[in-house]
Copies of this chain bind each other. A is one copy, B any other.
Amino acid sequence: MAASTLTEVARLAGVSPATASRVLNGSARKPGKDIAERVRQAADSLGYIPNAQAQGLAKSSSGLIGLIVHDIADPYFAAIARGVQDEAREQRRMVLLATTGGAPAEEREAVAAFAARRADSIVIAGSRSSRTEDRDDNAELAAELDRYCRNGGQVAVVGHPVVGATVTEGYHVVAVPNQELAGALAAELASRWDGDFVIIGGPDGLFTSDDRIRGFQEGLATAGRPPAEVLRTAFNRSGGYDAGLELAARIKAGRSGDGEASARKLCIFAVNDVMAIGASAALRAEGLRIPRDATIAGFDDIETLRDFRPALSTVRLPLEEIGRLATRATGRTAGGSEDLDDGEPGPVSGEVTLRRSTEAVA
Protein backbone atom coordinates (compact mmCIF):
# COMPACT_ATOMS: atom_id res chain seq x y z
CA MET A 1 0.00 0.00 0.00
CA ALA A 2 1.80 3.03 -1.25
CA ALA A 3 1.04 6.44 0.16
CA SER A 4 -2.16 7.83 -1.24
CA THR A 5 -2.08 10.59 -3.79
CA LEU A 6 -4.00 13.71 -4.48
CA THR A 7 -5.71 12.04 -7.39
CA GLU A 8 -7.01 9.28 -5.15
CA VAL A 9 -8.35 11.80 -2.72
CA ALA A 10 -9.98 13.69 -5.55
CA ARG A 11 -11.59 10.57 -6.92
CA LEU A 12 -12.90 9.58 -3.51
CA ALA A 13 -14.33 13.04 -3.03
CA GLY A 14 -15.75 13.03 -6.52
CA VAL A 15 -13.91 16.13 -7.66
CA SER A 16 -11.07 16.89 -10.00
CA PRO A 17 -7.46 16.80 -8.81
CA ALA A 18 -7.29 20.51 -9.45
CA THR A 19 -10.01 21.19 -6.96
CA ALA A 20 -8.53 18.84 -4.42
CA SER A 21 -5.21 20.59 -4.76
CA ARG A 22 -6.87 23.93 -4.26
CA VAL A 23 -8.53 22.97 -1.03
CA LEU A 24 -5.77 20.90 0.52
CA ASN A 25 -2.78 23.04 -0.23
CA GLY A 26 -3.08 26.78 0.11
CA SER A 27 -4.15 28.23 -3.19
CA ALA A 28 -5.44 31.66 -4.11
CA ARG A 29 -8.71 30.18 -5.20
CA LYS A 30 -10.92 28.86 -2.48
CA PRO A 31 -13.43 26.25 -3.62
CA GLY A 32 -16.93 26.19 -2.16
CA LYS A 33 -17.49 25.26 1.46
CA ASP A 34 -19.27 21.97 0.91
CA ILE A 35 -16.81 20.71 -1.64
CA ALA A 36 -13.89 21.71 0.53
CA GLU A 37 -15.35 19.75 3.38
CA ARG A 38 -15.85 16.68 1.22
CA VAL A 39 -12.29 16.82 -0.01
CA ARG A 40 -10.93 17.27 3.45
CA GLN A 41 -12.80 14.27 4.70
CA ALA A 42 -11.62 12.14 1.85
CA ALA A 43 -8.05 13.21 2.52
CA ASP A 44 -8.45 12.41 6.17
CA SER A 45 -9.88 8.99 5.65
CA LEU A 46 -7.10 8.10 3.25
CA GLY A 47 -4.44 9.54 5.50
CA TYR A 48 -3.28 11.70 2.66
CA ILE A 49 0.14 13.31 3.01
CA PRO A 50 1.11 15.61 0.17
CA ASN A 51 4.28 14.62 -1.60
CA ALA A 52 6.61 17.50 -0.93
CA GLN A 53 8.91 16.39 -3.71
CA ALA A 54 6.17 16.66 -6.27
CA GLN A 55 5.04 19.96 -4.82
CA GLY A 56 8.54 21.23 -4.96
CA LEU A 57 8.92 20.11 -8.52
CA ALA A 58 5.71 21.77 -9.54
CA LYS A 59 6.30 25.11 -7.91
CA SER A 60 10.09 24.92 -7.85
CA SER A 61 10.66 25.70 -4.21
CA SER A 62 11.25 23.07 -1.63
CA GLY A 63 10.80 24.60 1.79
CA LEU A 64 14.25 23.28 2.58
CA ILE A 65 17.08 25.18 4.17
CA GLY A 66 20.59 23.80 4.09
CA LEU A 67 22.91 24.21 7.05
CA ILE A 68 26.65 23.73 6.75
CA VAL A 69 28.74 23.25 9.88
CA HIS A 70 32.15 21.87 10.64
CA ASP A 71 30.95 19.44 13.22
CA ILE A 72 27.48 19.20 14.67
CA ALA A 73 28.82 17.77 17.92
CA ASP A 74 30.86 20.89 18.56
CA PRO A 75 28.78 22.91 21.01
CA TYR A 76 29.49 26.10 19.08
CA PHE A 77 27.85 24.75 15.97
CA ALA A 78 25.21 22.93 17.90
CA ALA A 79 24.11 26.23 19.41
CA ILE A 80 23.94 27.92 16.05
CA ALA A 81 22.10 24.93 14.67
CA ARG A 82 19.52 25.31 17.38
CA GLY A 83 18.88 28.89 16.29
CA VAL A 84 18.62 27.89 12.67
CA GLN A 85 16.30 25.06 13.52
CA ASP A 86 14.08 27.27 15.64
CA GLU A 87 13.69 29.89 12.97
CA ALA A 88 13.17 27.30 10.27
CA ARG A 89 10.45 25.77 12.34
CA GLU A 90 8.68 29.09 12.61
CA GLN A 91 8.88 29.53 8.88
CA ARG A 92 7.56 26.01 8.47
CA ARG A 93 10.65 24.90 6.66
CA MET A 94 12.92 21.95 7.29
CA VAL A 95 16.65 21.98 7.75
CA LEU A 96 19.03 19.83 5.84
CA LEU A 97 22.28 19.20 7.63
CA ALA A 98 25.79 18.89 6.23
CA THR A 99 29.01 18.62 8.17
CA THR A 100 32.24 19.27 6.41
CA GLY A 101 35.03 19.41 8.95
CA GLY A 102 35.72 22.86 7.56
CA ALA A 103 37.22 21.71 4.30
CA PRO A 104 36.20 24.05 1.46
CA ALA A 105 36.10 21.12 -0.93
CA GLU A 106 33.50 19.37 1.17
CA GLU A 107 31.63 22.61 1.60
CA ARG A 108 31.43 22.90 -2.14
CA GLU A 109 30.02 19.40 -2.29
CA ALA A 110 27.48 20.28 0.34
CA VAL A 111 26.38 23.36 -1.55
CA ALA A 112 26.00 21.30 -4.69
CA ALA A 113 23.96 18.74 -2.81
CA PHE A 114 21.73 21.47 -1.43
CA ALA A 115 21.36 22.94 -4.87
CA ALA A 116 20.41 19.52 -6.19
CA ARG A 117 17.75 19.26 -3.54
CA ARG A 118 16.64 22.74 -4.55
CA ALA A 119 17.02 24.08 -1.03
CA ASP A 120 15.55 27.57 -0.91
CA SER A 121 18.46 28.83 1.11
CA ILE A 122 21.78 27.86 2.60
CA VAL A 123 23.32 28.90 5.89
CA ILE A 124 27.06 28.45 6.17
CA ALA A 125 28.12 28.48 9.79
CA GLY A 126 31.65 27.22 9.51
CA SER A 127 34.56 29.59 9.61
CA ARG A 128 36.03 30.56 6.26
CA SER A 129 39.59 29.82 5.53
CA SER A 130 42.05 31.70 3.38
CA ARG A 131 44.91 29.27 3.56
CA THR A 132 46.83 29.02 0.36
CA GLU A 133 46.33 25.28 0.08
CA ASP A 134 42.61 25.94 0.09
CA ARG A 135 42.72 28.51 -2.65
CA ASP A 136 41.46 26.36 -5.47
CA ASP A 137 38.79 24.75 -3.36
CA ASN A 138 37.68 28.13 -2.13
CA ALA A 139 37.41 29.37 -5.67
CA GLU A 140 35.27 26.40 -6.59
CA LEU A 141 33.14 26.91 -3.53
CA ALA A 142 32.65 30.55 -4.47
CA ALA A 143 31.72 29.56 -7.99
CA GLU A 144 29.24 27.01 -6.75
CA LEU A 145 27.67 29.58 -4.45
CA ASP A 146 27.53 32.13 -7.23
CA ARG A 147 25.72 29.72 -9.43
CA TYR A 148 23.36 28.82 -6.63
CA CYS A 149 22.55 32.47 -6.02
CA ARG A 150 22.09 33.22 -9.70
CA ASN A 151 19.58 30.42 -9.81
CA GLY A 152 17.63 32.23 -7.15
CA GLY A 153 19.08 30.71 -4.01
CA GLN A 154 19.59 32.64 -0.81
CA VAL A 155 22.85 32.30 1.06
CA ALA A 156 23.78 33.49 4.52
CA VAL A 157 27.29 33.19 5.85
CA VAL A 158 28.13 33.56 9.50
CA GLY A 159 31.13 35.71 10.21
CA HIS A 160 33.10 36.25 7.05
CA PRO A 161 32.07 36.33 3.42
CA VAL A 162 33.27 33.47 1.29
CA VAL A 163 36.39 34.65 -0.45
CA GLY A 164 35.85 35.25 -4.10
CA ALA A 165 32.10 35.38 -4.13
CA THR A 166 30.97 37.92 -6.70
CA VAL A 167 27.23 37.74 -6.64
CA THR A 168 25.44 40.11 -4.29
CA GLU A 169 21.88 39.16 -5.07
CA GLY A 170 20.62 36.85 -2.35
CA TYR A 171 23.94 36.80 -0.58
CA HIS A 172 23.88 37.75 3.08
CA VAL A 173 26.51 37.98 5.76
CA VAL A 174 25.83 37.91 9.45
CA ALA A 175 28.70 39.99 10.69
CA VAL A 176 30.22 38.86 13.95
CA PRO A 177 32.42 41.52 15.53
CA ASN A 178 35.14 39.09 16.46
CA GLN A 179 37.88 41.62 16.12
CA GLU A 180 36.24 44.38 18.14
CA LEU A 181 35.21 42.03 20.88
CA ALA A 182 38.62 40.44 21.12
CA GLY A 183 40.00 43.95 21.38
CA ALA A 184 37.59 44.79 24.16
CA LEU A 185 38.54 41.62 25.96
CA ALA A 186 42.22 42.50 25.67
CA ALA A 187 41.52 45.98 26.99
CA GLU A 188 39.70 44.62 30.01
CA LEU A 189 42.37 42.10 30.74
CA ALA A 190 45.19 44.58 30.26
CA SER A 191 43.59 46.94 32.72
CA ARG A 192 43.60 44.27 35.42
CA TRP A 193 46.81 42.60 34.66
CA ASP A 194 50.34 43.64 34.00
CA GLY A 195 51.97 40.34 33.12
CA ASP A 196 52.60 38.77 29.76
CA PHE A 197 49.96 37.63 27.34
CA VAL A 198 50.06 34.67 25.06
CA ILE A 199 47.50 33.66 22.47
CA ILE A 200 46.44 30.15 21.54
CA GLY A 201 45.14 30.49 18.02
CA GLY A 202 43.81 28.22 15.35
CA PRO A 203 45.67 27.45 12.15
CA ASP A 204 46.83 30.42 10.17
CA GLY A 205 44.24 31.53 7.65
CA LEU A 206 41.14 30.66 9.58
CA PHE A 207 39.22 33.92 9.57
CA THR A 208 37.49 33.57 12.89
CA SER A 209 40.73 32.75 14.58
CA ASP A 210 42.73 35.40 12.76
CA ASP A 211 40.19 38.11 13.48
CA ARG A 212 40.19 37.35 17.14
CA ILE A 213 43.95 37.29 17.28
CA ARG A 214 44.21 40.56 15.41
CA GLY A 215 41.62 42.20 17.62
CA PHE A 216 43.31 41.00 20.76
CA GLN A 217 46.67 42.33 19.63
CA GLU A 218 45.12 45.65 18.75
CA GLY A 219 43.54 45.83 22.15
CA LEU A 220 46.89 45.15 23.76
CA ALA A 221 48.57 47.79 21.62
CA THR A 222 45.94 50.35 22.54
CA ALA A 223 46.61 49.57 26.16
CA GLY A 224 50.29 50.17 25.56
CA ARG A 225 51.25 46.54 25.78
CA PRO A 226 53.63 44.64 23.57
CA PRO A 227 52.06 42.14 21.18
CA ALA A 228 51.43 38.68 22.52
CA GLU A 229 53.12 35.62 21.22
CA VAL A 230 50.80 33.44 19.15
CA LEU A 231 50.76 29.66 19.36
CA ARG A 232 49.15 28.04 16.33
CA THR A 233 47.32 24.80 16.85
CA ALA A 234 44.16 22.94 15.90
CA PHE A 235 40.92 24.90 16.33
CA ASN A 236 39.46 22.44 18.82
CA ARG A 237 39.80 21.02 22.30
CA SER A 238 42.74 18.86 21.46
CA GLY A 239 44.61 21.75 19.88
CA GLY A 240 44.04 23.69 23.07
CA TYR A 241 45.33 20.79 25.09
CA ASP A 242 48.51 20.58 23.08
CA ALA A 243 49.19 24.27 23.40
CA GLY A 244 48.42 23.99 27.10
CA LEU A 245 51.11 21.36 27.53
CA GLU A 246 53.60 23.57 25.79
CA LEU A 247 52.73 26.51 27.99
CA ALA A 248 52.81 24.40 31.12
CA ALA A 249 56.35 23.38 30.30
CA ARG A 250 57.35 26.99 29.87
CA ILE A 251 55.72 28.07 33.06
CA LYS A 252 57.46 25.37 35.02
CA ALA A 253 60.77 26.15 33.38
CA GLY A 254 60.36 29.85 34.09
CA ARG A 255 59.53 29.11 37.65
CA SER A 256 62.59 27.06 38.37
CA GLY A 257 64.73 29.33 36.23
CA ASP A 258 63.81 32.66 37.77
CA GLY A 259 63.59 31.17 41.18
CA GLU A 260 60.26 31.29 42.93
CA ALA A 261 59.34 34.63 41.41
CA SER A 262 55.81 34.41 40.04
CA ALA A 263 56.47 37.84 38.58
CA ARG A 264 55.74 36.99 34.96
CA LYS A 265 52.57 35.09 35.37
CA LEU A 266 51.03 34.33 32.01
CA CYS A 267 47.59 35.36 30.83
CA ILE A 268 46.43 33.02 28.11
CA PHE A 269 43.86 33.94 25.49
CA ALA A 270 42.48 30.97 23.61
CA VAL A 271 40.50 32.00 20.55
CA ASN A 272 37.55 29.88 21.54
CA ASP A 273 36.12 28.34 24.67
CA VAL A 274 36.67 24.76 23.66
CA MET A 275 40.35 25.42 23.12
CA ALA A 276 40.51 27.26 26.42
CA ILE A 277 39.05 24.26 28.18
CA GLY A 278 41.57 22.02 26.50
CA ALA A 279 44.41 24.27 27.57
CA SER A 280 43.10 24.39 31.12
CA ALA A 281 42.95 20.63 31.23
CA ALA A 282 46.55 20.44 30.10
CA LEU A 283 47.71 22.92 32.69
CA ARG A 284 45.88 21.03 35.36
CA ALA A 285 47.31 17.76 34.16
CA GLU A 286 50.73 19.30 34.59
CA GLY A 287 49.93 20.28 38.12
CA LEU A 288 49.31 23.94 37.47
CA ARG A 289 46.31 25.77 38.81
CA ILE A 290 44.14 28.48 37.35
CA PRO A 291 44.09 31.33 38.13
CA ARG A 292 46.95 30.78 40.57
CA ASP A 293 49.68 29.78 38.14
CA ALA A 294 48.22 31.27 35.00
CA THR A 295 45.01 32.93 33.95
CA ILE A 296 43.03 32.11 30.87
CA ALA A 297 40.21 33.47 28.78
CA GLY A 298 38.22 32.01 25.92
CA PHE A 299 35.69 33.21 23.40
CA ASP A 300 32.07 32.24 22.59
CA ASP A 301 30.65 31.57 26.05
CA ILE A 302 29.50 28.07 25.22
CA GLU A 303 26.52 27.20 27.36
CA THR A 304 27.62 23.69 28.22
CA LEU A 305 30.90 25.00 29.55
CA ARG A 306 29.46 27.59 31.92
CA ASP A 307 29.53 25.21 34.83
CA PHE A 308 33.19 24.63 34.32
CA ARG A 309 35.42 25.63 37.24
CA PRO A 310 37.20 27.94 37.52
CA ALA A 311 34.53 29.81 35.59
CA LEU A 312 35.94 30.78 32.26
CA SER A 313 36.33 34.40 31.29
CA THR A 314 35.16 34.77 27.75
CA VAL A 315 33.19 36.84 25.29
CA ARG A 316 29.55 36.02 25.14
CA LEU A 317 28.27 35.53 21.64
CA PRO A 318 24.56 35.11 21.04
CA LEU A 319 25.08 31.93 19.09
CA GLU A 320 21.49 30.91 18.86
CA GLU A 321 20.53 34.40 17.78
CA ILE A 322 23.20 34.29 15.12
CA GLY A 323 21.71 31.14 13.69
CA ARG A 324 18.30 32.68 13.81
CA LEU A 325 19.42 35.87 12.11
CA ALA A 326 21.20 34.01 9.37
CA THR A 327 18.13 31.96 8.69
CA ARG A 328 15.88 34.98 8.74
CA ALA A 329 18.14 36.82 6.33
CA THR A 330 17.55 34.12 3.78
CA GLY A 331 13.86 33.92 4.50
CA ARG A 332 11.59 34.91 1.76
CA THR A 333 8.63 35.05 4.09
CA ALA A 334 6.26 34.79 1.18
CA GLY A 335 3.42 37.17 1.88
CA GLY A 336 4.56 37.67 5.43
CA SER A 337 5.21 40.92 7.19
CA GLU A 338 7.44 43.30 5.30
CA ASP A 339 9.05 44.96 8.29
CA LEU A 340 12.71 44.08 8.05
CA ASP A 341 12.28 41.37 5.56
CA ASP A 342 15.14 41.71 3.21
CA GLY A 343 17.55 44.11 4.86
CA GLU A 344 20.88 42.75 5.89
CA PRO A 345 20.78 41.29 9.37
CA GLY A 346 21.84 43.77 12.01
CA PRO A 347 25.31 42.98 13.24
CA VAL A 348 25.17 40.89 16.35
CA SER A 349 26.71 42.13 19.54
CA GLY A 350 28.70 40.24 22.09
CA GLU A 351 29.80 41.02 25.58
CA VAL A 352 33.05 40.62 27.43
CA THR A 353 32.38 38.41 30.42
CA LEU A 354 35.10 38.25 33.02
CA ARG A 355 34.95 35.38 35.44
CA ARG A 356 37.18 33.62 37.87
CA SER A 357 39.68 32.19 35.40
CA THR A 358 41.26 35.59 34.90
CA GLU A 359 41.09 36.84 38.44
CA ALA A 360 44.54 38.03 39.30
CA VAL A 361 45.14 36.49 42.68
CA ALA A 362 47.33 38.50 44.94
Residue in A72, A95, A113 whose Cβ sees the most chain B Cβ within 10 Å: A72
Tell me if A348 is interfacial: C-beta within 8 Å of chain B.
no
Task: Check B62–A73 contact: CB distance below 8 A.
Answer: no
Candidates B73, B151, B308, B309; contact of A2 at CB < 8 Å: B151
Task: Check A81–B73 contact: CB distance below 8 A.
Answer: yes
Query: Which partner residue on chain B sits nearest A113 by CB separation?
Result: B94
Contact flag A97-B97 (CB < 8 Å), given A1-B151, A3-B115: yes
Task: Check B94–A52 contact: CB distance below 8 A.
Answer: no
Task: Check A53–B57 contact: CB distance below 8 A.
Answer: yes
Within 8 A of B (CB), among A41-99: 47, 49-54, 56-57, 62, 67, 71-75, 78-79, 81-82, 85, 89, 94-99
Question: Which listed segment binds B: A7-15, A182-190, A246-254, A276-284?
Answer: A276-284
Task: Check A94–B117 contact: CB distance below 8 A.
Answer: yes
Task: Check B303–A278 contact: CB distance below 8 A.
Answer: no
Query: Which partner residue on chain B sits nearest A237 by CB separation?
Result: B307
Tell me if A112 is interfacial: C-beta within 8 Å of chain B.
yes
Task: Check B85–A99 contact: CB distance below 8 A.
Answer: yes
Task: Check A82–B75 contact: CB distance below 8 A.
Answer: no
Q: How far is the CA of A67 from the CA of B97 in the complex (A)?
A: 10
Stoichiometry (number of copies):
2
Task: Check A49–B152 contact: CB distance below 8 A.
Answer: no
Q: How far is the CA of A51 from the CA of B112 in the complex (A)?
A: 11
Q: How far is the CA of A54 from the CA of B274 in the complex (A)?
A: 42
* Closest chain B CB from A142 CB (angstroms): 14
Tell me if A147 is interfacial: C-beta within 8 Å of chain B.
yes
Tell me if A118 is interfacial: C-beta within 8 Å of chain B.
yes
Within 8 A of B (CB), among A13-38: none
Task: Check B62–A72 contact: CB distance below 8 A.
Answer: no
Task: Check A75–B75 contact: CB distance below 8 A.
Answer: yes
Q: How far is the CA of A115 from the CA of B50 in the complex (A)?
A: 9
Instruction: Report B-chain residues with C-beta under 8 Å of the C-beta of A117.
Output: 52-53, 94
Query: Which partner residue on chain B sits nearest A69 by CB separation?
Result: B85
* Closest chain B CB from A89 CB (angstroms): 8
Task: Check B49–A115 contact: CB distance below 8 A.
Answer: yes
Task: Check B308–A307 contact: CB distance below 8 A.
Answer: yes
Query: Which partner residue on chain B sits nearest A278 by CB separation?
Result: B307
Q: How far is the CA of A113 from the CA of B95 in the complex (A)?
A: 11
Q: A72-B78, A73-B82, A308-B308 are in contact. List 4 more A-B contacts (CB 8 A).
A: A2-B151, A72-B72, A73-B78, A78-B78
What are 15 residue pairs bridging A and B, where the CB atoms are less than 8 Å apart in the complex? A2-B152, A3-B147, A49-B116, A50-B116, A53-B118, A72-B82, A73-B78, A74-B78, A75-B78, A85-B99, A89-B99, A96-B97, A277-B307, A284-B309, A309-B309
Closest 3 CB pairs of A and B: A73-B82, A52-B116, A78-B78
